[in-house]
Amino acid sequence: MASSEISTSSKILLVNKQLEKLYNIGKKESRIIIGLMSGTSLDGLDIALCKIHGAGKNTRVELLRFETISYEDTYKNEVREVYSKPLISSEKICLLNEWIGMYHAGLINACLKKWNLKNEDIDLIASHGQTIYHAPKSLHKHETFGNGTLQIGDGDHIACHTGIITLSDFRQKHIAAGGEGAPLAAYGDYLLFANNPKSLVLLNIGGIANLTFIPANKEFEHVKTTDIGPGNILMDIWIRKHFPGLNYDKDADIARSGMVNKQLLKILHQHPFIKIKFPKTTGPEIFNESFIREALGFCDDKDIPAEDVTATLNQFTADLITASIDYYISSMQDCEILISGGGIHNKLLMDKIKKHFTHLPVSTTLNKEISPDAKEAIIFALLANESVSGNRDTFGKGGAKMPATGMGKISFPY
């Protein structure tokens, strides 16, 4: 037998072994899955070690460990060079795709070591990747093109450098199924909370805020989801620029020390994105430094104190969040609001939301035993679990508008 034939047949054997391993993972009663989230805030990599039992509506998740590993400045600077910019070097994207994959793999290996766990004890990694551009048609408006979104941090690199089968790039399936690639949280929210006796609004306040509305006792076809607009993103950008050394308005101390500027608030509300009907998706391509600068440019007062701008951005964020929830629940009286994401630590924002919905119970997802800081990372672990073990019917049969089952691309280790 020629040597090339030997190497070809041994490769086939190797791939089959990995497929067999994946098949066996899919058949297990419970799986150990690491969910990774790296959001628009660039605060760090969320690593959620989950034990997931079952699949579909019978899914049950235990969060075994959770850690947010703060990014070093190198990571933030490299990503900020390309992030949400329409024109950038293709060489840079090409290199970052590999680099982020390896960077994330390094963080996972370090975390597993710290937790005294062996890589072979982990069944799967579910990696969101780093979004560098999100372009729904409402943003780019090109006739020829549909919706687009791009997350980098290649899954093969994660799989090869951790030795763990990795699912990544979850958002493309959603676009292929007719969506905008976001928000995907609705799928995980449904798996986590569909059995709740009351209707639920799951509000996530990350860089961008999004919501899932799950009416009580209804199938997935009745679940609604949308991005809302800014979560922490505008406040973070402003703080980083005007309060050197700070990354965000810790406990909203700065916003509290300022006054809302009514004219600036009114101008912020006039942005065309706000008039786009729900559901919609967005990102830092719209909610960025120019967004704030342009609004300030229309104000008569050219010297609004930085604390007042912070207070105004906080109010603007709260207004958009409360208006979107009002829209989805209309006058429903029997509904709970559960909040997650870093925004739960912004006390002023939380107070405003609670004050607006005095007639409804408002709390964090901790109330249902789901860590509000870990929820997004848990959701990607759930999506991977569903892809290897769920069935097509979980999110509705063929008639459903956007079932998007089987999200994520599979990467095998060496």
Ligand X SMILES: Nc1ncnc2c1ncn2[C@@H]1O[C@H](COP(=O)(O)OP(=O)(O)OP(=O)(O)O)[C@@H](O)[C@H]1O
Which residues contribute to the site for ligand X (CB under 6 A)? 39-41, 43, 204, 206-208, 232, 236, 248-252, 341-343, 345-346, 376
Residue 236 binds which of Mg ion, ligand X, none (CB < 5-8 A, kind-dependent): ligand X
Least Å from the CB of residue 33 to ligand X: 19
Strands 124-135 and 30-38: parallel
Ranges assigned E (strand) in 39-171: 44-53, 60-70, 124-135, 148-152, 166-168
Residue 181 binds which of ligand X, Mg ion, none (CB < 5-8 A, kind-dependent): none
Least Å from the CB of residue 296 to ligand X: 20
Residue 221 binds which of ligand X, Mg ion, none (CB < 5-8 A, kind-dependent): none
Residue 204 binds which of Mg ion, ligand X, none (CB < 5-8 A, kind-dependent): ligand X
Closest to ligand X by CB, 190 vs 248, is 248
Least Å from the CB of residue 301 to Mg ion: 34
Stretch (H or E) spanning 349 = helix 347-356
Least Å from the CB of residue 207 to ligand X: 3
**Number of amino acids touching Mg ion (CB under 5 A):** 3
Q: How many residues does the chain have?
A: 414
What is the SS3 string spanning 353-398?
A: HHHHCCCCCEEEHHHHCCCCCCHHHHHHHHHHHHHHHCCCCCCCCC
Closest to ligand X by CB, 66 vs 327, is 66
Give the orientation angle of helix 73-82 with respect to helix 90-114, to 10 degrees: 150
Which residue carries 């964090």 as its tokens? 364
Amino acid at residue number 336: E
Least Å from the CB of residue 332 to ligand X: 25
* 51, 61 Cβ separation under 8 angstroms: yes
Query: Does residue 279 touch Mg ion according to CB under 5 A?
Result: no
Q: Supply the Cα-derived Rg of the chain in whole angstroms.
A: 22
Closest to ligand X by CB, 229 vs 390, is 229
Closest to ligand X by CB, 123 vs 189, is 189
Closest to ligand X by CB, 183 vs 390, is 183
CA torsion 282-407-363-31 (nearest 10°) is: -150
Least Å from the CB of residue 245 to ligand X: 15
Report the site for Mg ion in 32-51 (rule: CB under 5 A): 39, 41, 43
Closest to ligand X by CB, 97 vs 310, is 310
Closest to Mg ion by CB, 210 vs 312, is 210
Residue 17 binds which of Mg ion, ligand X, none (CB < 5-8 A, kind-dependent): none
Least Å from the CB of residue 307 to Mg ion: 25
Least Å from the CB of residue 29 to ligand X: 30
Phi then psi for 36, rounded to 5 degrees? Answer: -120, 135
DSSP for 272-303 reads HHHHSPSS----TTTSSHHHHHHHHHT-S-TT
Angstrom distances, CA of residue 273 to CA of 138, 149, 227, 260: 9, 18, 11, 22
Least Å from the CB of residue 316 to Mg ion: 21
Closest to Mg ion by CB, 329 vs 381, is 381
Closest to Mg ion by CB, 192 vs 374, is 374
Other CB atoms within a 10 A radius of the CB of residue 201 amount to: 23
Residue 369 binds which of Mg ion, ligand X, none (CB < 5-8 A, kind-dependent): none
Whole-angstrom distance between the N-terminal and C-terminal Cα of the chain? 25
Give the orientation angle of helix 375-389 with respect to helix 185-193, to 10 degrees: 80
Residue 130 binds which of ligand X, Mg ion, none (CB < 5-8 A, kind-dependent): none
Residues 6+ apart with CB under 8 A from 290: none
Q: Which residues bind Mg ion (CB under 5 A)?
A: 39, 41, 43
